[in-house]
Chain A
Amino acid sequence: MSFFTRRRIRNASLLVLALAGIVWWVRAREQTLDSSALGTGYLLLAAVFFLASYNVRKKLPFLPLGGSTAWLQWHIYVGIGTVGVFALHARTAWPSGWLEALLAVTFYLTVGSGLVGLYLTRTIPPQLARVSDEITYERIPAFRRQVRRQAEEVVLESVAASGATTLADFYTARLYGFFAGARGWRYLVRPTSALRRALMREMQDVRRYLSEQEQIGCERLFTLVRRKDDLDFHDARQKVLKLWLFGHIGLTYALVLLAVLHGLLAHAFHGGVA
């Protein structure tokens, strides 16, 4: 059993135990005619503040607040636990009040974006690792420019060596745009290797019209096309990894505001005190 599996089992068990304890507490409160709503509400609010503080923690790396790995683990399991506490608190999937419905939607979207992020952070890194070496996201433009320059050098060298422009014409017509920059938003949403395969097929087709010198250059272009496609894949996937946080964190602060207002209202309009 790997370390990660053991950790997952341990944390999941702790989460289940904690939720079972909360359920027991809620039932005990209800059986004494006490309302558990205030208790579960405070628990939820505390959980939301704790989850939001993960972002603050990342901005204050110099403080001795524990490692980011531990924080992430707490963030994930406390976040999942809030779904259970929310169910105990709201008792309905869809509150009928406007403000509470807005709060519920914000909560669902925040939790949903968190789960999406969890899925992305667990699936994208292996995909990237399978494709190529580790590439820093901020350096991808520089690498892309480097590949483009190498491709242009290859084409110019082949023209100079062979005196033919067949490869250069093909580059201008089909490969220039590919090497010129990043891919479009469709590729960001659903990256595929279709374009790379199409270009390679065309390069394969054009080989028979190339001179021997040009064919050597073409071989190098094959490598550069693959390299550029890998860079695009890294760019798209790493961008997704960064963009989902926009939604998650943006929703988190809106959720904090709504939850605080809801708590204020719950206290002020609470009718359970004699």
Chain B
Amino acid sequence: MREPGPDYASRQYERPNQPWVCGLASDGQACPAGPTAGGACPALAECVPTRDGDRWMCNRSPLRGGVCAEGPSPEGGCGCVHRCRPVRSLRSIRGRFVTACTLLAAGVLTILLSADWRDRAISPGPLAQQHAQLLENETSPNPSLRGRGKCAECHSAAERSVAGWAGSLAGFHGGETGQSQRCMECHKSTISTEFALVAHNVAPQLLRQITASGVGPSSNHKRHELACATCHREHRGAQFDLVAMNDAACQSCHQQRYQSFSTDHPDFGVWPYERRTRIVFNHASHQAKHFAEKKQAFACRLCHVEDATQSVQLLASFENACALCHDEKIATSVAKGLPFISLPTIDVDALKTAGHDIGPWPEAATGDFDGRLPPMMKLLLAADQDAAQAMTALGADFDFLDVDPDDPVQLAACAKLAAAIRSLVADIGERGPVAVRERLSRALAPYVEEPEVSALMAGLSVSVMHEAANWFPGIDIGKEAWPRDVKSADLPARKTPQYDPAGTWFLDDVTLSIRYRPAAHADSVLTSWLKLLAATPNLELRPLVMATFRELSSPTAPGLCASCHSVERVAEGQMTINWRAYNRTTGPRSLTKFSHGPHLLLPQLSDCTSCHAINNSADTAAAYSEDNPHTFVSEFAPISKQQCAQCHTAKAAGESCQKCHNYHVDEIEAWRLGGWGRGEAEPPDARELGAR
């Protein structure tokens, strides 16, 4: 530290901390007293002159320079009075400047928060392009949000004042709608609102079922709930990828650490062959036998075609892929027509002997018991209580050929059935679709609507039924047209299915039957009967209906429908027939995703069998013997993870979780839930557990 200058020990006493300084200071003549605290000049004299006789004498202290040259005034006043206009000190000016800056900032913020464009001003940045219309449009695309401010479409806080915002510091939100709930107002069509905030949008018990360790909750989602904004960070610009996530985000819940796909990821297990295919198809036999016999090249691309996005391989249509060979077989199977109503041969004499008078019965259908009732006819008869009891007595899958003429019980049942058959023919002949609807509604329990009945008997003319009634002597149902189905018309209409033109109905007087010859593949009448039966609830508890369904859906049944379209059990004891192959573009979103397009570009993967190698030893047919689609042996060899790991490394094709996995899922793949494919009889019902 250097010593003070030689002039330091001056008489002057500086006061830089005071708000005012002497106005003469800038000229180097500041008075020793300085201004008052209020900034007034005290105008003090340097001395108080003393009187010596009639003279006034200067009394200035030697410390202030001694006697001054000016001397006192004639009235005895000091001649050295300092007068100035005090000025603010530098410190005071700085304080005022800082205050001004603060007030300016506060003013700007007040204007900003009270202006119409407040929302735009406080927005932390542009929204991603998917949400851009929320800020740019004057009206919200969501009707429930119209009338709110722009920010209010997502933030409840936008409807509050600054004081309300301060309240949020104390966690007081006044029961307002959370931001995630606001998100769901628009996204409820794609994500379940019930589980929107739950990991992967599936019920927590399902998640626990997938992994024994369960979901490891981190600090902010102890209730296993994650706000949308946890992952989807908005206000980062139009081009910001809202759905991009890094692997660390996944690993925050998934406790098993994945450093590398090749070393840490488990093998694929059954994926992607999680269940048998919906369309029954034996790749091995088609390749080795059927295509070879036709001298056709067995190329995967003949049947599997890319969708518009080149991501999914869709199955080609029947006409393009199957019709060449299978049309002929289908036509042959239905050449004789599918019996709708067929009169069995009844041993009238045996019945009379046993004391059963069945009335007039066609001569052509009289003789030893013989014949089977067509499945559709059985259903219509089942509405008749006597007939239902008779069929139950004879057995759900009975044949008249098996009736013992000496068995009084069976004879009684046959007598009831014969009477019921005659009533059925007369009833349908007289009332047509009304009778069919009433009978099916009674037999299947759920109400059957007129459009459905129209599809079931599309093309069946009243004249055919009138002629059929003529088989029975003594029955006169007239020639009137069928009445309109008034009851059904009064009910709220369901969606009417659209079908191609139906086939032809014809009367066979030789076999005394009404038959239906389907038009072609995917015949509307045949599929309508199958759909109606499959959708009947609790089939297992209704042996007669089940037997009917089994007969119609047998792989060898006329039309050969079930030889290619697999039948499987679904919820509530219902069955379903897979009329179409699985379409991943419209199917529920699952945890795993895959895009074929970029893979097929690679020369080493352009051949589908490089990944999907056919397992010639698999018994494909056996896989369809059960109703459980997950009890099967895949006809493809399992896909090895190492095959993918050759390219999917961090430095090549990438190995992030999102490459192959979706976060938001509509449905957990059944194989992840355990049990399926491992011998368990019943699958866990994901729908009951809450998965969409």
B residues whose Cβ falls under 8 Å from a Cβ of A: 1-8, 10, 12, 14, 16, 21, 25-30, 90, 94, 97-98, 100-102, 104-106, 109, 112-113, 120-126, 151, 154-155, 157-158, 160, 162, 164-166, 168-169, 178-180, 197, 218-221, 223, 225-231, 234-237, 248-249, 251-253
Contact A142 B5 (CB under 8 A): no
Smallest CB separation, A34 vs chain B (Å) = 5
Interchain CA distance A240-B338 in the complex, whole Å: 106
Smallest CB separation, B390 vs chain A (Å) = 62
Q: Which among B29, B160, B220 has the greatest number of chain A C-beta atoms within 10 A?
A: B220
Smallest CB separation, A65 vs chain B (Å) = 18
Instruction: Knowing that A133-B3, A242-B94, A271-B180 touch, tell me 14 more A-B residue pairs with CB under 8 angstroms.
Output: A30-B248, A31-B251, A31-B252, A32-B219, A34-B219, A34-B220, A96-B125, A96-B126, A99-B112, A142-B30, A145-B28, A254-B104, A270-B179, A271-B155
Q: Contacts A33-B253, A136-B8: A269 and B248 contacting too (C-beta < 8 A)?
A: no
Interchain CA distance A246-B21 in the complex, whole Å: 19
Contact A138 B14 (CB under 8 A): yes
Contact B25 A138 (CB under 8 A): yes
Contact B120 A141 (CB under 8 A): no
Q: Contacts A257-B106, A267-B168, A269-B155: A33 and B226 contacting too (C-beta < 8 A)?
A: yes
The residues of A that contact B218 with a CB separation of less than 8 Å are 32-34
Interchain CA distance A98-B6 in the complex, whole Å: 56
Contact B124 A100 (CB under 8 A): yes
A residues whose Cβ falls under 8 Å from a Cβ of B: 30-35, 95-100, 129, 132-139, 141-146, 242, 245-246, 249-251, 253-254, 257-258, 261, 264-265, 267-274
Partner among B2, B10, B27, B252 whose Cβ is within 8 Å of the Cβ of A32? B252
Contact A100 B125 (CB under 8 A): yes
The residues of B that contact A134 with a CB separation of less than 8 Å are 1-5, 8
Contact A274 B151 (CB under 8 A): no
The residues of B that contact A268 with a CB separation of less than 8 Å are 155, 157, 160, 164-165, 168
Interchain CA distance A251-B105 in the complex, whole Å: 9
Smallest CB separation, B11 vs chain A (Å) = 10
Q: Which among A95, A264, A270 has the greatest number of chain B C-beta atoms within 10 A?
A: A264
Interchain CA distance A207-B95 in the complex, whole Å: 50
Interchain CA distance A270-B171 in the complex, whole Å: 11
Interchain CA distance A144-B28 in the complex, whole Å: 7
Q: Which 10 A-B pairs have the closest CB atoms?
A: A145-B28, A271-B229, A250-B101, A133-B5, A268-B157, A96-B125, A271-B179, A32-B218, A254-B105, A268-B165
Smallest CB separation, B641 vs chain A (Å) = 25
The residues of A that contact B101 with a CB separation of less than 8 Å are 250-251, 253-254
Contact B5 A132 (CB under 8 A): yes
Contact B123 A98 (CB under 8 A): yes
Interchain CA distance A43-B424 in the complex, whole Å: 86
Contact B105 A143 (CB under 8 A): no
Interface class of chain A by DSSP: helix
Smallest CB separation, B22 vs chain A (Å) = 10
Smallest CB separation, B161 vs chain A (Å) = 10
The residues of B that contact A96 with a CB separation of less than 8 Å are 124-126, 235-237
Partner among B90, B165, B230 whose Cβ is within 8 Å of the Cβ of A264? B165
The residues of B that contact A249 with a CB separation of less than 8 Å are 94, 98
Interchain CA distance A146-B29 in the complex, whole Å: 10
Interchain CA distance A267-B170 in the complex, whole Å: 10
Q: Contacts A253-B101, A267-B165, A268-B157: A33 and B230 contacting too (C-beta < 8 A)?
A: yes
The residues of B that contact A145 with a CB separation of less than 8 Å are 27-29
Chain A minimum-CB-distance residue to B105: A254
The residues of B that contact A270 with a CB separation of less than 8 Å are 168, 179, 229
Smallest CB separation, A26 vs chain B (Å) = 12
Chain A minimum-CB-distance residue to B113: A261
Chain B minimum-CB-distance residue to A136: B14
Contact B120 A257 (CB under 8 A): no
Contact A258 B12 (CB under 8 A): no
Q: Which among A143, A257, A274 has the greatest number of chain B C-beta atoms within 10 A?
A: A274
Q: List 19 A-B contacts (CB under 8 A).
A: A31-B249, A33-B218, A33-B221, A33-B231, A33-B249, A96-B124, A97-B124, A98-B121, A100-B124, A134-B8, A138-B16, A141-B25, A142-B12, A143-B28, A246-B97, A250-B101, A258-B105, A264-B166, A264-B168
The residues of B that contact A272 with a CB separation of less than 8 Å are 220, 227, 229-230
Interchain CA distance A220-B121 in the complex, whole Å: 66
The residues of B that contact A31 with a CB separation of less than 8 Å are 248-249, 251-252
Contact B10 A139 (CB under 8 A): yes
Chain B minimum-CB-distance residue to A99: B122
Interchain CA distance A273-B14 in the complex, whole Å: 59
Contact B2 A274 (CB under 8 A): no
Smallest CB separation, B646 vs chain A (Å) = 29
Contact A97 B219 (CB under 8 A): no
Contact B162 A264 (CB under 8 A): yes
Contact A133 B4 (CB under 8 A): yes
Contact A97 B3 (CB under 8 A): no
Smallest CB separation, B173 vs chain A (Å) = 9
The residues of B that contact A257 with a CB separation of less than 8 Å are 102, 105-106, 109
Chain A minimum-CB-distance residue to B90: A242
Chain A minimum-CB-distance residue to B253: A33
Partner among B125, B154, B179, B234 whose Cβ is within 8 Å of the Cβ of A95? B125
The residues of B that contact A97 with a CB separation of less than 8 Å are 122-125, 235
Smallest CB separation, B226 vs chain A (Å) = 6
Smallest CB separation, A104 vs chain B (Å) = 11
Interchain CA distance A267-B10 in the complex, whole Å: 58
Smallest CB separation, B338 vs chain A (Å) = 58
Interchain CA distance A257-B100 in the complex, whole Å: 13
Chain B minimum-CB-distance residue to A261: B109
Chain B minimum-CB-distance residue to A100: B124
Q: Contacts A98-B123, A139-B14: A271 and B3 contacting too (C-beta < 8 A)?
A: no
Contact B178 A273 (CB under 8 A): yes
Contact B28 A142 (CB under 8 A): yes
